[in-house]
């Protein structure tokens, strides 16, 4: 049966939310920008046609957030909006027609759309004072210390004709050369690779250590000025002036007067960008004069005077030579295509992922076919289609393997799972090695000095067969192995010893239970507090924990039902690993018996930090406003409904500063009602009024 419109809307929202999280929160996209944008466009269209399904929480209503808890959160003086985008020249022409109808013939500036991560720099009296990421557009992370290490960014300006205070915005980029070097190093160290230069730039900018940032070879191109006293009244004149102050400004900007000139610029750069040393993903077209920009104004999330035309991902056509099958640590089988080498987006491609049997069948991919390969957000390119007109006459449908390519065990399919699995967990080499390698990872037990190669060496020498064997190793056994020696043997033993202090939630993740990733492990640890409690929980009890559904619950039950796994767990317990969550240390009891609700966005702390602070001082966090609540810590953008309810129930609103005072031990300044945020402040949503930006 066909899907109803409502079902399709729900499906798109759910998928967009999922991919948004992958992209903005995890920095690990699974689909290409093009695929994401197509889904977003379809959802926008359906929502426009069916206003009855409007939802304030729809992915179309928000700009993604890249905020983390580790950096100070600061408010943008001018919000950092996003740009409307299109892949269609027709839509771009409509955009230009609309503008010319509204304000008459005007000048456009065409520039490249740099594919990195946005940054806003503040300069006061010619010196860099603050660098903030885009965040949610209203609040971002203060990454000044990291940004100071980027050599393309001037710390002190040249000349003396710059405004006393202004902001300049641009893109922090990782050039291909830095990206390749970084991933080569990470591969050698057994660290996970960055999927693309954009993720590498964003990930680097949020490094805790600015020394690490300094080594990563980041670059920065600036493309927009904001401030009250800019020298000229057009984008072009100001941005060119900024070059004189020492900023890196693109050499590839052009002023265009007609649609033909804009088309020509796009055509040129669709090909020309392939020869640039840094990544770009489109062209940005901006109205040049500020007076015109002001007249056109803004929508809620983007200016009406600019648009991004995005290039389609590059494709190449090549021959599928053969298919290999890789076996992962969970036994999952991944088919990998071997291709006739072909040049694609600056690198030679020889392999591509094929996901699973269903995808192969759906595209009817056959050995010997000419196939289209595309680079999306992933490290390994993927096959997106077959050129049927070039199919050899004698080609045969592809047959998926039925037995494990390594150990020969017949493969199985689990209900609702697209992948095939080798069920021979305990005797299939890549599964055994994969589990040990997962166990020692930085985010798991973090056993330094043990890389993939050393694990293989220990396995080949018969010293380890499972994760518990690691804790029986002796330095004398390691020192005699090739490439090791006394010093590295001792280092390995020391870090194995140190891993016994790794907190419970990471131990739980390290076990490698199917579907129990880092976040799930955190939720399980927080809910059950000990491994014994997780092991003894029934499926019904497991799904009581946050984010745990029946599928994960079943996988946990299966894991602990296995005799072999239980033996390993007992040996790890004997070795002294942390099987219990640490008891939270109470810093004081000043909030004992008090219930809090946190609402809105804050200047100094993230919401999670505030929650932790409440608990550390003996208070309790509640999710909803009710008569049980003693205080609401109110930040900016607190929802009006919450505010009303709080007023009705007479609940005390306190600001972040008042809360800080409450727990600082200095409670002498009992705050007065004037110090409490007013309803007005709370619902000020910081969106610029027309013309306010410049």
What is the contact surface with ligand IVH in residues (CB under 6 A)?
A: 81-83, 111, 113-114, 118, 134, 171, 223-224, 284, 303, 306, 308
Nearer to ligand IVH, 113 or 206 (CB): 113
Cα–Cα dist 615/289, whole Å = 53
- Shortest distance (Å) from residue 63 CB to ligand IVH: 9
Q: Is 113 designated active site?
A: yes
Measure the CA–CA gap between 459 and 447, rounded to whole angstroms.
Answer: 16
CB of 298 to ligand IVH, least distance (A): 8
Q: Is the Cβ of residue 220 or residue 534 nearer to ligand IVH in the bound state?
A: 220
Closest separation between CB of residue 173 and ligand IVH, Å?
A: 9
Q: Which residues, 6 or more positions from 62, have their beta carbon under 8 angstroms from its beta carbon?
A: 136
| Residues comprising the chain, all counted | 694
Contact 172, 119 (CB under 8 A): yes
Task: Say how far apart CA 614 and CA 629 lie, in whole Å.
Answer: 13
Structure tokens at 253: 């900007």
Q: Residue 597 in 3-state DSSP?
A: strand
d(C-alpha 208, C-alpha 189), whole Å: 19
Q: Determine the distance from the C-alpha atom of residue 450 to the mean position of all C-alpha atoms in its chain, rounded to a whole number.
A: 28
Angstrom distance (rounded) from CA 142 to CA 158: 24
The span from the CA of 501 to the CA of 448, in Å, is: 14
- Smallest separation, CB 167 to ligand IVH (Å): 12
Provide the token pair at 197.
């230069």
Burial class of residue 160 in the structure, from the number of CB atoms within 10 Å of its CB (0-12 exposed, 13-18 middle, 19+ buried): exposed
Beta-bridge partners for 117: 172
| Phi, psi values for residue 228, rounded to 5° | -90, -25
Nearer to ligand IVH, 202 or 510 (CB): 202
We find the least distance from the C-beta atom of residue 238 to ligand IVH, in angstroms, to be 13
**Are 601 and 683 in contact, with CB atoms under 8 Å apart?**
no
Among 1, 91, 9, 2, CA closest to 50 = 9
Query: Of residues 113, 241, 248, 419, which has the active-site annotation?
Result: 113
CB of 130 to ligand IVH, least distance (A): 18
Answer whether 633's CB lies under 8 Å from 656's CB.
yes
CB of 118 to ligand IVH, least distance (A): 3
- Residue 282's nearest CA partner among 266, 297, 268 is 266
At residue 251's C-alpha, the angle toward residues 247 and 253, to 5°, is 110
End-to-end CA distance of the chain: 53
CB-CB neighbours of 279 under 10 Å: 22
Q: Which is nearer to ligand IVH, 197 or 303 (CB)?
A: 303
Residue at shortest CB range from ligand IVH: 118
Closest approach, Cβ 183 to ligand IVH, in A, equals 23
- What is the SS3 assignment for 209? coil
Q: Residue 171 in contact with residue 117, Cβ under 8 Å?
A: yes
Rounded distance, CA 84 to CA 115, Å? 15
Q: Rank residues 224 and 425 by Cβ distance to ligand IVH and give the closer one.
A: 224
Largest Cα span, the chain? 88
Q: CB 311 → ligand IVH: shortest distance, Å? A: 12
Quick one: DSSP state of residue 30? S
Residue 315 CB-density burial (10 A; 0-12 exposed, 13-18 middle, 19+ buried): middle
Q: Specify the residue, 306 or 327, whose C-beta has the smaller distance to ligand IVH.
A: 306
- In angstroms, how far is CA 461 from the centroid of its own chain? 39
Compute the least distance from the CB of residue 309 to ligand IVH, in Å.
11
Of 106 and 133, nearer to ligand IVH (C-beta) is: 133
Nearer to ligand IVH, 118 or 404 (CB): 118
Q: How far is the CB of 171 from ligand IVH (least distance, A)?
A: 5
Structure tokens at 341: 């080498």
Within 10 angstroms of residue 354's Cβ, the number of other Cβ atoms is 23
Residue whose CB is less far from ligand IVH, 114 or 123: 114
Which of 198, 605 has the CB closer to ligand IVH?
Answer: 198
Is residue 173 within 8 Å of 119, Cβ to Cβ?
A: no
Per DSSP, the three-state class of 389 is helix
Neighbours of 362 (CB within 10 A): 10
**Nearer Cβ to ligand IVH (114/162):** 114
For the bound state, the minimum distance from the C-beta of residue 85 to ligand IVH, rounded and expressed in Å, comes to: 6
CB-count burial class (<10 Å; 0-12, 13-18, 19+) for 607: middle
| DSSP-derived 3-state class of residue 431 | helix
Element (H, E) at 496: helix 485-498
- For the annotated catalytic residues, the residue numbers are 113
């Amino acid at each position: 049966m066909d899907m109803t419109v409502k079902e399709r809307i729900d499906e798109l929202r759910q998928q967009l939310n999922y991919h948004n999280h992958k992209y903005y929160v995890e920095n690990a996209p699974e689909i290409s920008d093009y695929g994401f944008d197509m889904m977003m466009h379809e959802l926008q269209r359906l929502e426009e046609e069916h206003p009855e399904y409007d939802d304030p929480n729809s992915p179309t209503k928000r700009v993604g957030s890249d905020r983390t808890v580790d950096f100070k959160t600061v408010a943008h003086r001018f919000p950092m909006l996003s740009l409307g985008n299109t892949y269609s020249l027709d839509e771009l022409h409509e955009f230009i027609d609309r503008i010319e109808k509204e304000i008459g013939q005007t000048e456009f500036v065409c520039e490249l759309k740099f594919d990195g991560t946005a940054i806003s720099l503040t300069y006061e009296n010619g010196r860099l004072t603050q660098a903030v990421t885009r965040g949610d557009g209203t609040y971002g992370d203060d990454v000044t210390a990291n940004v100071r290490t980027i050599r393309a960014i001037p710390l002190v300006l040249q000349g003396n004709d710059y405004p006393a205070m202004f902001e300049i915005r641009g893109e922090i980029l990782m050039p291909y050369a830095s990206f390749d070097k970084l991933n080569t190093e990470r591969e050698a160290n057994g660290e996970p690779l960055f999927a693309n230069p954009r993720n590498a730039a964003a990930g680097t900018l949020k490094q805790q250590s600015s020394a690490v940032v300094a080594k990563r070879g980041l670059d920065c191109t600036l493309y927009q000025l904001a401030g009250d006293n800019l020298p000229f009244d057009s984008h072009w004149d100001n941005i060119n002036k900024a070059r004189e102050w020492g900023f890196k400004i693109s050499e590839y900007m052009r002023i265009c007067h007609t649609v033909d000139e804009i088309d020509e610029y796009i055509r040129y750069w669709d090909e020309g960008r392939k020869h640039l040393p840094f990544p770009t993903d489109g062209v940005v077209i901006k109205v040049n004069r500020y007076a015109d920009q002001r007249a056109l104004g803004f929508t809620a999330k983007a200016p009406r005077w600019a648009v991004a035309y995005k290039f389609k991902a590059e494709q190449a056509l090549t021959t599928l030579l053969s298919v290999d099958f890789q076996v992962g640590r969970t036994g999952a089988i991944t088919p990998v295509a071997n291709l006739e080498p072909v040049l694609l987006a600056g690198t030679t491609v020889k392999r591509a992922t094929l996901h699973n049997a269903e995808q192969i069948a759906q595209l009817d991919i056959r050995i010997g076919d000419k196939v289209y390969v595309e680079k999306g957000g992933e490290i390994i390119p993927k096959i997106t289609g077959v050129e049927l007109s070039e199919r050899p006459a004698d080609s045969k449908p592809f047959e998926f393997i039925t037995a494990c390519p390594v150990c020969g065990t017949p493969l199985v399919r689990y209900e609702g799972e697209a992948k095939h699995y080798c069920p021979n967990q305990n005797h299939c080499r890549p599964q055994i090695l994969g589990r040990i390698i997962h166990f020692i990872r930085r985010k798991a037990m973090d056993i330094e000095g043990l890389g993939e190669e050393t694990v293989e060496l220990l396995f080949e020498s018969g010293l380890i067969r499972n994760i518990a064997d690691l804790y029986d190793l002796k330095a004398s056994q390691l020192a005699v192995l090739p490439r090791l020696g006394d010093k590295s043997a001792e280092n390995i033993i020391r870090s194995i010893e140190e891993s016994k202090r790794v907190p419970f939630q990471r131990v739980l993740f390290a076990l490698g239970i199917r579907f129990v990733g880092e976040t799930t492990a955190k939720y399980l640890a927080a809910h059950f507090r000990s491994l014994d409690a997780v092991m003894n929980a029934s499926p019904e009890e497991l799904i009581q924990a946050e984010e745990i559904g029946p599928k994960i619950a079943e996988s946990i039950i299966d894991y602990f039902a296995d005799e072999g796994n239980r033996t390993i767990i007992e040996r790890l317990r004997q070795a002294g690993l942390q099987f219990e969550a640490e008891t939270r240390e109470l810093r004081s009891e000043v909030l004992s018996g008090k219930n809090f609700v946190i609402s809105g966005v804050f200047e100094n702390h993230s919401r999670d930090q505030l929650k932790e602070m409440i608990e550390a001082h003996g208070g309790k966090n509640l999710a909803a406003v009710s008569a049980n609540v003693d205080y609401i810590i109110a930040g900016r953008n607190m929802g009006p409904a919450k505010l009303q309810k709080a007023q009705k129930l007479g609940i005390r609103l306190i600001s972040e500063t008042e809360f800080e005072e409450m727990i600082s031990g200095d409670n002498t300044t009992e705050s007065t009602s004037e110090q409490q945020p007013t309803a007005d402040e709370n619902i000020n949503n910081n969106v610029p009024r027309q013309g306010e930006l410049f």
